[in-house]
Amino acid sequence: MTIMEALERAKRLHSQRETSTRSSDSRQLVAPNDTGMLKILDAGGSARIEVEAVQSLGRLQIDPGICERNRILYTDDHLAAEARGAAAYRLLRGRVLQQMRAKNWSCIGISSPGPGEGKTVTTLNLALAIAREKQRTVYVLDLDMRNPRVMDYLGAHPTASISRYFSESLPAADVLFETDVERLIVAGATEPVRSASELLATSRLDELLLSIRNRSPDALILIDLPPVMSTDEALVVAPRVDAMFIVSSEGRTRRDALARAIDLLSDFPVAGIISNRSSESMGADYYAY
Protein backbone atom coordinates (compact mmCIF):
# COMPACT_ATOMS: atom_id res chain seq x y z
CA MET A 1 0.00 0.00 0.00
CA THR A 2 1.32 3.44 -0.91
CA ILE A 3 1.24 6.49 1.35
CA MET A 4 -1.47 8.09 -0.82
CA GLU A 5 -3.60 4.93 -0.77
CA ALA A 6 -3.25 4.85 3.01
CA LEU A 7 -4.24 8.51 3.18
CA GLU A 8 -7.43 7.88 1.20
CA ARG A 9 -8.28 4.90 3.43
CA ALA A 10 -7.55 6.96 6.52
CA LYS A 11 -9.92 9.68 5.31
CA ARG A 12 -12.69 7.11 4.86
CA LEU A 13 -12.07 5.70 8.33
CA HIS A 14 -12.07 9.20 9.81
CA SER A 15 -15.44 9.92 8.20
CA GLN A 16 -16.83 6.64 9.52
CA ARG A 17 -15.49 7.42 12.98
CA GLU A 18 -17.22 10.80 13.04
CA THR A 19 -20.49 9.15 12.02
CA SER A 20 -20.01 6.54 14.73
CA THR A 21 -19.31 9.25 17.33
CA ARG A 22 -22.49 11.11 16.43
CA SER A 23 -24.53 7.96 16.98
CA SER A 24 -22.73 6.83 20.14
CA ASP A 25 -25.51 8.07 22.42
CA SER A 26 -27.78 5.37 21.02
CA ARG A 27 -25.43 2.55 22.10
CA GLN A 28 -25.22 0.84 25.44
CA LEU A 29 -23.03 -1.63 27.28
CA VAL A 30 -24.66 -4.80 28.53
CA ALA A 31 -23.38 -7.30 31.07
CA PRO A 32 -21.01 -10.11 30.06
CA ASN A 33 -22.77 -13.03 28.40
CA ASP A 34 -22.01 -16.67 29.03
CA THR A 35 -18.90 -16.48 26.85
CA GLY A 36 -17.39 -13.84 29.11
CA MET A 37 -17.75 -11.09 26.52
CA LEU A 38 -19.21 -7.59 26.79
CA LYS A 39 -21.38 -6.34 23.94
CA ILE A 40 -22.05 -2.87 22.57
CA LEU A 41 -25.64 -2.61 21.35
CA ASP A 42 -27.07 -0.12 18.88
CA ALA A 43 -30.49 1.46 19.33
CA GLY A 44 -32.17 -1.55 17.75
CA GLY A 45 -30.53 -3.96 20.18
CA SER A 46 -28.17 -5.52 17.66
CA ALA A 47 -24.62 -6.31 18.73
CA ARG A 48 -22.11 -4.07 16.95
CA ILE A 49 -18.85 -5.06 18.60
CA GLU A 50 -17.71 -7.36 21.39
CA VAL A 51 -14.82 -7.09 23.83
CA GLU A 52 -13.65 -9.50 26.47
CA ALA A 53 -14.70 -9.02 30.08
CA VAL A 54 -12.11 -7.48 32.41
CA GLN A 55 -9.28 -9.85 33.28
CA SER A 56 -6.28 -9.37 35.52
CA LEU A 57 -3.05 -8.25 33.88
CA GLY A 58 0.48 -9.58 34.11
CA ARG A 59 3.28 -7.46 35.50
CA LEU A 60 6.29 -6.31 33.50
CA GLN A 61 9.77 -6.10 34.96
CA ILE A 62 11.53 -2.92 33.80
CA ASP A 63 15.31 -2.57 33.88
CA PRO A 64 16.34 0.77 35.48
CA GLY A 65 19.85 0.59 34.03
CA ILE A 66 18.60 0.20 30.47
CA CYS A 67 16.09 2.99 31.04
CA GLU A 68 18.90 5.27 32.16
CA ARG A 69 20.97 4.49 29.07
CA ASN A 70 17.97 5.26 26.86
CA ARG A 71 17.15 8.49 28.74
CA ILE A 72 13.88 7.13 30.09
CA LEU A 73 13.22 8.89 33.41
CA TYR A 74 11.99 5.82 35.23
CA THR A 75 13.31 6.09 38.80
CA ASP A 76 13.49 8.91 41.32
CA ASP A 77 17.27 8.88 40.94
CA HIS A 78 16.92 9.40 37.18
CA LEU A 79 14.55 12.30 37.78
CA ALA A 80 16.96 13.92 40.24
CA ALA A 81 19.97 13.45 37.96
CA GLU A 82 18.14 14.86 34.93
CA ALA A 83 16.35 17.75 36.62
CA ARG A 84 16.11 19.91 33.48
CA GLY A 85 14.68 17.06 31.46
CA ALA A 86 12.20 16.19 34.21
CA ALA A 87 11.06 19.82 34.34
CA ALA A 88 10.61 19.90 30.57
CA TYR A 89 8.44 16.79 30.67
CA ARG A 90 6.32 18.21 33.48
CA LEU A 91 5.75 21.29 31.35
CA LEU A 92 4.88 19.11 28.37
CA ARG A 93 2.55 17.03 30.57
CA GLY A 94 0.68 20.13 31.68
CA ARG A 95 0.16 21.42 28.17
CA VAL A 96 -0.89 18.05 26.74
CA LEU A 97 -3.32 17.37 29.59
CA GLN A 98 -4.76 20.86 29.26
CA GLN A 99 -5.64 20.15 25.63
CA MET A 100 -6.97 16.68 26.41
CA ARG A 101 -9.24 17.96 29.18
CA ALA A 102 -10.47 20.95 27.18
CA LYS A 103 -11.34 18.84 24.14
CA ASN A 104 -12.36 15.66 25.96
CA TRP A 105 -9.61 13.62 24.31
CA SER A 106 -8.53 10.28 25.70
CA CYS A 107 -6.33 8.81 22.95
CA ILE A 108 -3.44 10.48 21.13
CA GLY A 109 -0.97 9.25 18.55
CA ILE A 110 2.68 10.31 18.62
CA SER A 111 4.70 10.19 15.41
CA SER A 112 7.53 12.04 13.66
CA PRO A 113 8.45 12.92 10.09
CA GLY A 114 11.31 10.41 9.95
CA PRO A 115 13.25 7.91 12.08
CA GLY A 116 15.60 8.81 14.93
CA GLU A 117 13.76 11.94 16.03
CA GLY A 118 12.89 10.83 19.56
CA LYS A 119 9.20 9.93 19.38
CA THR A 120 9.49 6.76 21.50
CA VAL A 121 11.53 8.46 24.23
CA THR A 122 9.00 11.29 24.18
CA THR A 123 6.06 8.89 24.43
CA LEU A 124 7.52 6.97 27.36
CA ASN A 125 8.68 9.98 29.35
CA LEU A 126 5.37 11.78 28.80
CA ALA A 127 3.49 8.66 29.95
CA LEU A 128 5.66 8.37 33.06
CA ALA A 129 5.14 12.05 33.88
CA ILE A 130 1.36 11.68 33.60
CA ALA A 131 1.24 8.43 35.57
CA ARG A 132 3.19 9.98 38.45
CA GLU A 133 0.32 12.38 39.06
CA LYS A 134 -1.76 9.29 39.99
CA GLN A 135 -4.91 10.91 38.65
CA ARG A 136 -5.61 8.77 35.59
CA THR A 137 -4.37 5.45 34.24
CA VAL A 138 -1.98 5.78 31.30
CA TYR A 139 -1.65 3.13 28.59
CA VAL A 140 1.29 3.09 26.18
CA LEU A 141 0.76 1.07 23.00
CA ASP A 142 3.74 0.42 20.73
CA LEU A 143 2.17 0.25 17.28
CA ASP A 144 5.43 0.94 15.46
CA MET A 145 5.45 -2.79 14.82
CA ARG A 146 7.89 -2.72 11.91
CA ASN A 147 10.52 -1.23 14.22
CA PRO A 148 9.30 -1.71 17.83
CA ARG A 149 11.31 0.11 20.49
CA VAL A 150 9.16 0.57 23.61
CA MET A 151 10.09 -2.73 25.24
CA ASP A 152 13.74 -2.39 24.21
CA TYR A 153 13.96 1.07 25.76
CA LEU A 154 12.44 -0.25 28.99
CA GLY A 155 14.63 -3.35 29.06
CA ALA A 156 11.43 -5.38 29.40
CA HIS A 157 10.53 -8.85 28.15
CA PRO A 158 6.76 -9.32 27.90
CA THR A 159 5.35 -12.84 27.75
CA ALA A 160 3.26 -11.87 24.70
CA SER A 161 3.82 -9.32 21.96
CA ILE A 162 1.07 -6.89 20.99
CA SER A 163 1.51 -8.11 17.42
CA ARG A 164 0.03 -11.45 18.49
CA TYR A 165 -3.11 -9.66 19.63
CA PHE A 166 -3.60 -8.66 16.00
CA SER A 167 -2.29 -11.74 14.21
CA GLU A 168 -3.42 -14.52 16.58
CA SER A 169 -6.46 -12.91 18.22
CA LEU A 170 -5.03 -13.09 21.73
CA PRO A 171 -7.16 -11.38 24.38
CA ALA A 172 -6.13 -7.80 25.12
CA ALA A 173 -5.35 -8.79 28.72
CA ASP A 174 -2.59 -11.09 27.46
CA VAL A 175 -0.59 -8.25 25.88
CA LEU A 176 -1.24 -5.43 28.39
CA PHE A 177 1.13 -5.30 31.36
CA GLU A 178 1.15 -3.37 34.60
CA THR A 179 4.45 -1.86 35.73
CA ASP A 180 6.06 -0.80 39.00
CA VAL A 181 4.86 2.72 38.23
CA GLU A 182 1.33 2.94 39.57
CA ARG A 183 -1.25 3.60 36.84
CA LEU A 184 1.17 2.91 33.97
CA ILE A 185 0.26 0.01 31.66
CA VAL A 186 2.21 -0.86 28.51
CA ALA A 187 1.90 -3.12 25.49
CA GLY A 188 4.65 -3.60 22.96
CA ALA A 189 5.90 -5.67 20.09
CA THR A 190 8.92 -7.91 20.61
CA GLU A 191 9.79 -8.55 16.98
CA PRO A 192 9.34 -6.68 13.67
CA VAL A 193 6.09 -7.32 11.79
CA ARG A 194 6.09 -6.88 8.03
CA SER A 195 2.30 -6.85 7.64
CA ALA A 196 1.76 -4.15 10.28
CA SER A 197 -0.35 -1.92 8.03
CA GLU A 198 -2.78 -4.69 7.18
CA LEU A 199 -3.08 -5.76 10.82
CA LEU A 200 -3.74 -2.22 12.04
CA ALA A 201 -6.41 -1.66 9.39
CA THR A 202 -8.63 -4.38 10.88
CA SER A 203 -11.26 -3.90 13.57
CA ARG A 204 -8.91 -5.41 16.15
CA LEU A 205 -7.46 -1.98 16.96
CA ASP A 206 -10.92 -0.55 17.63
CA GLU A 207 -11.65 -3.53 19.86
CA LEU A 208 -8.39 -3.02 21.75
CA LEU A 209 -9.16 0.64 22.44
CA LEU A 210 -12.68 -0.28 23.56
CA SER A 211 -11.31 -3.00 25.82
CA ILE A 212 -8.93 -0.51 27.45
CA ARG A 213 -11.75 1.96 28.08
CA ASN A 214 -13.88 -0.80 29.53
CA ARG A 215 -11.05 -1.74 31.88
CA SER A 216 -10.11 1.84 32.77
CA PRO A 217 -12.87 4.38 32.06
CA ASP A 218 -10.44 7.18 32.98
CA ALA A 219 -7.71 5.89 30.66
CA LEU A 220 -5.35 8.12 28.71
CA ILE A 221 -3.95 6.17 25.76
CA LEU A 222 -0.64 7.17 24.15
CA ILE A 223 0.18 5.35 20.90
CA ASP A 224 3.75 5.27 19.62
CA LEU A 225 3.42 5.26 15.82
CA PRO A 226 5.91 4.87 12.97
CA PRO A 227 7.28 7.97 11.23
CA VAL A 228 4.75 9.52 8.88
CA MET A 229 7.17 9.60 5.95
CA SER A 230 8.48 6.04 6.36
CA THR A 231 5.37 3.85 6.25
CA ASP A 232 1.59 4.23 6.02
CA GLU A 233 0.73 2.94 9.52
CA ALA A 234 0.42 6.40 11.11
CA LEU A 235 -2.15 7.30 8.47
CA VAL A 236 -4.03 4.04 9.06
CA VAL A 237 -4.24 4.72 12.82
CA ALA A 238 -4.87 8.49 12.64
CA PRO A 239 -8.67 8.14 12.22
CA ARG A 240 -8.85 6.04 15.41
CA VAL A 241 -7.19 8.58 17.73
CA ASP A 242 -8.50 11.91 18.97
CA ALA A 243 -5.41 13.83 17.87
CA MET A 244 -1.83 13.48 16.69
CA PHE A 245 1.38 14.97 18.03
CA ILE A 246 4.47 15.22 15.83
CA VAL A 247 7.95 14.99 17.35
CA SER A 248 10.71 16.89 15.56
CA SER A 249 14.39 16.89 16.42
CA GLU A 250 16.34 20.14 16.39
CA GLY A 251 19.31 19.81 14.09
CA ARG A 252 17.94 16.64 12.49
CA THR A 253 14.41 17.17 11.22
CA ARG A 254 14.32 18.96 7.88
CA ARG A 255 11.76 21.72 7.51
CA ASP A 256 10.42 20.29 4.26
CA ALA A 257 10.00 16.85 5.87
CA LEU A 258 8.10 18.37 8.81
CA ALA A 259 5.90 20.36 6.44
CA ARG A 260 5.20 17.24 4.37
CA ALA A 261 4.29 15.23 7.48
CA ILE A 262 1.89 17.95 8.63
CA ASP A 263 0.37 18.07 5.15
CA LEU A 264 -0.20 14.30 5.08
CA LEU A 265 -1.99 14.53 8.44
CA SER A 266 -3.95 17.66 7.52
CA ASP A 267 -7.29 15.82 7.42
CA PHE A 268 -6.88 14.80 11.07
CA PRO A 269 -6.45 16.85 14.27
CA VAL A 270 -2.75 17.65 14.80
CA ALA A 271 -2.58 18.92 18.37
CA GLY A 272 0.99 20.16 18.35
CA ILE A 273 4.66 19.72 17.47
CA ILE A 274 7.01 18.55 20.22
CA SER A 275 10.54 19.82 19.68
CA ASN A 276 13.14 17.28 20.77
CA ARG A 277 16.65 18.36 21.81
CA SER A 278 15.52 21.98 21.86
CA SER A 279 18.25 24.58 22.36
CA GLU A 280 15.90 26.57 24.58
CA SER A 281 17.24 26.75 28.11
CA MET A 282 14.18 25.16 29.73
CA GLY A 283 14.47 21.95 27.78
CA ALA A 284 18.05 21.86 26.58
CA ASP A 285 18.86 18.42 25.20
CA TYR A 286 15.29 17.37 25.92
CA TYR A 287 11.91 18.64 24.82
CA ALA A 288 10.15 21.94 24.29
CA TYR A 289 6.49 22.15 23.34
Nearest CA among 212, 223, 220, 218 for reference residue 55:
212
Residue 286 pLDDT exceeds 70: no
Residues 6 or more apart in contact with residue 18 via CB below 8 angstroms: none
- Give tens-digit pLDDT for 81-135: 999 999 999 999 999 999 999 999 999 999 999 999 999 999 999 999 999 999 9
- The string of pLDDT tens digits covering residues 51-89 is 455 688 999 999 999 999 999 999 999 999 999 999 999
pLDDT of residue 184: 97
Q: What is the DSSP string of 185-207?
A: EEE--SS--TTHHHHHTSTHHHH
* Correct CATH for 55-288 of 3.90.280.10, 3.40.50.2000, 3.90.580.10, 3.40.50.300: 3.40.50.300
pLDDT at 9 over 50: yes
Of 280, 258, 262, 282, nearest in space to 271 by CA: 262
Partners of 288 in the beta sheet?
275
Confidence of residue 10 (pLDDT cuts 50, 70, 90): low
What distance in Å separates the CA atoms of residue 206 and residue 165, rounded to the nearest whole number?
A: 12
Longest dimension (CA), the chain: 59
Q: What is the mean pLDDT of the chain?
A: 84
Q: Distance between CA 98 and CA 113 in Å, rounded?
A: 25
What per-residue confidence (pLDDT) applies to 252? 82
pLDDT tens track for 217-248: 999 999 999 999 988 999 999 999 999 999 99
pLDDT at position 90, please? 95
pLDDT digit string, tens, across residues 158-214 = 999 999 999 999 999 999 999 999 999 999 998 999 899 999 999 999 999 999 999
Cα 111 from Cα 247, distance rounded (Å) = 6
Residue 98 makes CB contacts below 8 A (sequence gap 6+) with: none
